Amino acid sequence: MTLFLGIDGGGTGCRAIVADATGAVLGTGSAGPSNIVSDPDGALASILAAAGAALGSHGRLDDLHAVLGLAGGNVAEAVETLVSRLPFASALVVNDGVTAVKGALGDDDGVMAAIGTGTIFAVQRAGQIREIGGWGFILGDEASGAWMGRRLLAMGLRAIDGFVPGTPFLDEIFAELGGAAQIVGAAPGMRPADFARLAPRILAAAEAGDPAARRVVDDSVAEVAAAIELLQGGETLPVVFLGGLGPLHAGRLKHRWPQQAALGGSVEGAVFMARRRHEAGLGR
Amino acid sequence: MTLFLGIDGGGTGCRAIVADATGAVLGTGSAGPSNIVSDPDGALASILAAAGAALGSHGRLDDLHAVLGLAGGNVAEAVETLVSRLPFASALVVNDGVTAVKGALGDDDGVMAAIGTGTIFAVQRAGQIREIGGWGFILGDEASGAWMGRRLLAMGLRAIDGFVPGTPFLDEIFAELGGAAQIVGAAPGMRPADFARLAPRILAAAEAGDPAARRVVDDSVAEVAAAIELLQGGETLPVVFLGGLGPLHAGRLKHRWPQQAALGGSVEGAVFMARRRHEAGLGR
């Protein structure tokens, strides 16, 4: 019996799909967080729970040829430890960016632009994937929701100092958050998701014409365009926009490159990779 | 007996000067951290220890008319609590930026540009002080040492992605810090001082001609120039440069505005304010 397992796992949860050789889905499962760097035991337990639920009574864990797309899937030591403990027939661990690309594009050439709390940009050409961005909130993730929120608050402080003009939306947000001293005091303890929570408000304010919000949105679109441009390298590959802010950028950049919808998500990409690996004679 | 106490306190320590009505220094003292927001009891103990050491046998604590320049001196609730517990004849708490300006300029009109791990920019006109910047590492402190270090690391990641050219200095720093994945993993736990530790290296590399380092230094100088320009409002008041990066900016901006040396530090500014307050009939 040859079955295929796709896993998509990270800090918030873990999802699994089991499929047969034709790609027909036999079952799905989900479980808790699977951060293989900060909690290897918990991650293993989550992965096995999700895989077991997806497998049901279709076979045994050692029938499964698995591909796991995991946050932290590029940390070699954590990956080696995990793989040595997995009961599957074969297992390949990759960064979740890779399974996201495969889920979005399958085998097709194209660009993936995932813009949510963070960002990932990647291009696939003849099955080869190149990822850029995604370096996190402190040093990267330009254009992300977290980046937009931080930028708006920083702009509000620059307005108080007199470097840039104040706007009604900046005043509104600063009043809501208790003023500059409160915001500055809270900032070191805020997580990326806290800053990203401002993004929908910024979009709405930009839509309504607030100059500060428009500036943040325009700068975000410019960053996304620059990343896609870099990955295109002069080509006009189709672009798949993902993430909570994907629709914004898809709309703003719709005349620039052809666009297509994602075939599936990261977990679908993982099970797709598992089948392709087996067809290619790998992982037996 | 009328004596004057100046206190300069913050997260790393607390310094005190006691002077008589002529400004003659009778004694100095120092003690541990005095963060009135995060540790009010510890801050009070440090302030009293430093004040007691400075006072020696010249009088009693309730002879002292005090001005305290404290980090967090703009947090109204923490200040009220502290003042109600101080044994001095009178006490005024201000933000340490204010005592730094008074220490640097005395009564003179001028601009203070303090650029170290963080930044403070301020102008004094006819005794009135206006402060800008100093909003902290996450949302502000443009041009600071921490800002320079973070910017250099972000630039190294942009170089890896192909947005900007790599340089020998970027390669050197990334190799020393264990590579991109290591740096990105460590970044969320790094404090401003950790990023600022790169600043002297960046200055040296810029001096030696590395394009990435030059870019960071040039951008920092441009931010400092913009802040001073804003505070000058078209005037050419003398500028006092302070902090570890003060000499860099003083050198790069030497033809732009007149410069002068600081009269003293923040603790000298505090005791100066205490004497002026008393002369003006305040705090009796």
User: Looking at the domain assignment, is residue A126 inside a domain?
Assistant: no
Same domain, residue pair B169 and B190: yes
Same domain, residue pair A88 and A170: no
Residue in chain B closest to A75 (alpha carbons) equals: B181
Candidates B53, B20, B19, B40; CA nearest to B83 is B40
Q: What is the pLDDT of residues A77-124, one digit of tens each?
A: 889 999 999 999 999 999 888 999 999 999 999 999 999 888 889 999
User: Looking at the domain assignment, is residue A65 inside a domain?
Assistant: yes
Reduced to 3 states, what is the DSSP secondary structure of residue B201?
A: helix
Interatomic CA distance for residues A56 and A164, integer angstroms: 60
Specify whether the CB–CB gap between B3 and B256 falls below 8 A. no
| Cβ pair B230:A138 closer than 8 A | no
Tell me, what amino acid is at A46? Answer: S
- To test the contact with chain B by mutation, choose from A161, A177, A194, A231 the residue with the greatest count of B C-beta atoms within 10 A, namely A161
User: Looking at the domain assignment, is residue A45 inside a domain?
Assistant: yes
Backbone φ and ψ of B7, nearest 5°:
-125, 135
Which residues of chain B are within 8 Å of residue A137 when distances are taken between CB atoms? 188
pLDDT tens per residue across all 284 residues of chain B: 789 999 998 877 899 999 999 989 999 999 998 888 888 899 999 999 999 999 999 999 999 999 999 987 777 888 999 999 999 999 999 988 899 999 999 999 999 999 988 888 999 999 899 999 888 889 999 999 999 999 999 999 999 999 999 999 999 999 999 999 889 888 988 988 899 999 999 999 999 999 999 999 999 999 999 999 999 999 999 999 998 999 999 999 999 999 999 999 999 999 999 999 988 877 55
The A-side interface with B (CB below 8 A) comprises 37, 74-75, 132-133, 135-140, 150, 153-154, 157-158, 161-163, 180-181, 183-185, 187-188, 190, 226-227, 230
Q: Which structural domain, as residue segments, surrounds residue A97? A: 3-106+263-279
DSSP B89: S
Same domain, residue pair B91 and B151: no
Tell me, what amino acid is at A87? Answer: P
Which residues of chain A are within 8 Å of residue B184 when distances are taken between CB atoms? 135-136, 139-140
Closest approach of A273 to chain B, Cα-based (Å): 24
Interatomic CA distance for residues A227 and A213, integer angstroms: 21
Number of domains in chain B: 2
Interatomic CA distance for residues A64 and A26, integer angstroms: 12
User: Looking at the domain assignment, is residue A133 inside a domain?
Assistant: no
Same domain, residue pair B166 and B87: no
Closest approach of A158 to chain B, Cα-based (Å): 8
Counting beta carbons within 10 angstroms of the beta carbon of residue A209, is it exposed (0 to 12), middle (13 to 18) or buried (19 or more)? exposed
Same domain, residue pair B203 and B248: yes
Residue in chain A closest to B184 (alpha carbons) equals: A135
Q: What is the pLDDT of residues A220-268, one digit of tens each?
A: 999 999 999 999 999 999 999 998 999 999 999 999 999 999 999 999 9
Spell out the residues 6+ positions from residue B16 whose beta carbon is closer than 8 angstroms to its own: B5, B6, B7, B8, B28, B29, B30, B31, B47, B50, B51, B53, B54, B267
Same domain, residue pair A186 and A211: yes
Same domain, residue pair B101 and B197: no
User: Looking at the domain assignment, is residue A234 inside a domain?
Assistant: yes
User: Looking at the domain assignment, is residue A248 inside a domain?
Assistant: yes
- Cβ–Cβ contacts within 10 Å for residue A32, how many? 15
Same domain, residue pair B225 and B273: no
User: Looking at the domain assignment, is residue B62 inside a domain?
Assistant: yes
Same domain, residue pair A180 and A207: yes
| Cβ pair B184:A140 closer than 8 A | yes
Looking at the DSSP bridge assignments, the partners of residue B110 are: B124
Counting beta carbons within 10 angstroms of the beta carbon of residue B19, is it exposed (0 to 12), middle (13 to 18) or buried (19 or more)? buried
Same domain, residue pair A78 and A58: yes
DSSP B177: T
| Cβ pair B132:A162 closer than 8 A | yes
Interatomic CA distance for residues A58 and A174, integer angstroms: 56
Beta strand segments in B126-198, E: 128-132
Q: What is the CATH number of the domain that holds A246?
A: 3.30.420.40
Backbone φ and ψ of A26, nearest 5°:
-95, -25
Sheet arrangement for strand B128-132: B128-132, B119-125, B110-115, B239-242
H helices present in A187-265, as ranges: 192-196, 199-207, 211-232, 246-252
Backbone φ and ψ of A91, nearest 5°:
-150, 130
User: Looking at the domain assignment, is residue A132 inside a domain?
Assistant: no
Interatomic CA distance for residues A278 and A284, integer angstroms: 7
- Would you tell me the crossing angle of helices B168-176 and B199-207 to the nearest 10 degrees? 150
Same domain, residue pair A193 and A227: yes
Same domain, residue pair A42 and A77: yes
